[in-house]
Structure 1
């Protein structure tokens, strides 16, 4: 079966603009995100599913969208976690996430932890008004980033890191959240590559450094 790519809206800071849902195989949202989609003109008919416990929805919403509601009442898991599980069941392997940051920071940290949990099954990329960010494999490269802010954040540590294309390169070095992190670097080449031997790294691509 051919794998699919998905667009997923979750309940953080609403995005300033919406991608074209036609560019994705599947589009879904958590029930909290449904409200900002509805209030900001997103074409709700493009939603393939809406997941959550629906305790904040009116009877009209339930009546109109009930065929696309997936009830996920488990209070031991976040809505983001449950939505990713749904996408896995739909054979998705690449997920673009909007609404993952902003607002309450415990939600943001929780979203990163959920993405870490699924990092080997799903290619999850978060986008917000400031950057895109995602966990990277042990051998990684990205192009089109000259002069953009690049941050490497250990989760919680990573060793044997070698980078190319950054203003302040790393040569077989270690990052650890208790001692040293790799934020606020920038790309001097159009392509940046990162390899590392152990641990896990979050990779951030921001706006232009200067």
Structure 2
């Protein structure tokens, strides 16, 4: 499997391959088809290489690599290998910041959920932190997760009737108002662990509107 690199870099989102549960080959193939730039976290490198994926950047602290980096440079030329030993941030955080520094406007993230629950929670919770700098989507076989962009904290998108849409605050989000959702909110507050907005759905084909005033809010487009 390889990315065809059929679009120019930064015209389409970069792809970050993390080290959680692998998604289906179909989903990964679709994302690679439209991702001209592929960044892989070092913990996933063995699984990525076994799939024949062309890599643009290998990123991480390289604490547990089982192969020679010179061989990788040769087989994946012109791969860029970035050593990022900072232990105050996760490799995924550092990878996102790397893309921001390189002026990428957007990135999709796969293999970032599943496996360890603590890693999954941290990965998801970190998404809003970067929403002012880069558009991020975390994707697996059942969900697409992304923050509502700040300023003006408004989300509008067309959905098919019955589409599952969960509103998940990171901490607390206030002043939430929705339109075309089964469980409507009118200037209300959601607080993670106390009042969540999971398993809502579009009432009819058409635009769903979500706005809020303070806090951080994630949209989760889910399917069983």
Q: Same fold (TM over 0.5)?
A: yes
- 1:9 equivalenced with 2:23 (yes/no): no
Q: 2:144 aligns with which of 129, 132, 141?
A: 132
Distance change (3 Å), C-alpha of 1:193 and 1:62: farther
What does residue 110 of structure 2 align with? 98
- Normalising by structure 2, report the TM-score: 0.83
Instruction: Please tell me the root mean square deviation across aligned C-alpha atoms, in Å.
Output: 2.0
Task: Check whether the contact 1:141–1:193 (CA below 8 A) recurs between aligned residues.
Answer: yes
In structure 1, the residue matched to 2:4 is none
1:199-210, aligned counterparts within 5 Å? Answer: 199-207=215-223
As a proportion of its length, which structure holds more strand?
A: 1
Distance between the aligned counterparts of 2:106 and 2:157, measured in 1?
16
Q: Is 1:111 aligned to residue 123 of structure 2?
A: yes
Unpaired stretches in structure 1, ≥5 consecutive residues: none
The answer to whether the Cα contact below 8 Å between 2:10 and 2:36 also exists between their aligned partners in 1 is no
**How far did residue 25 of structure 1 move?**
3.4
Gaps of 5+ in 2: 1-8
Q: Is the 8 A contact 1:80 1:114 kept in 2?
A: no
The counterpart of 1:146, out of the listed 161, 175, 178, is 161
Q: 1:144 Cα shift?
A: 3.3
Give 2:3's aligned residue: none
TM-score of the two chains, using structure 1 as the length reference: 0.88
Quote the Cα distance in structure 1 between the aligned partners of 2:196 and 2:91: 29
SS of match in other structure, 2:223: strand
- Count of residue correspondences: 204
- 2:185 maps to which residue? 170
Residues 119/68 of structure 1: CA separation in 2 closer, same or farther (3 Å cut): same
1:61 Cα deviation from its structure 2 partner: 4.9
Partner of 1:184: 199
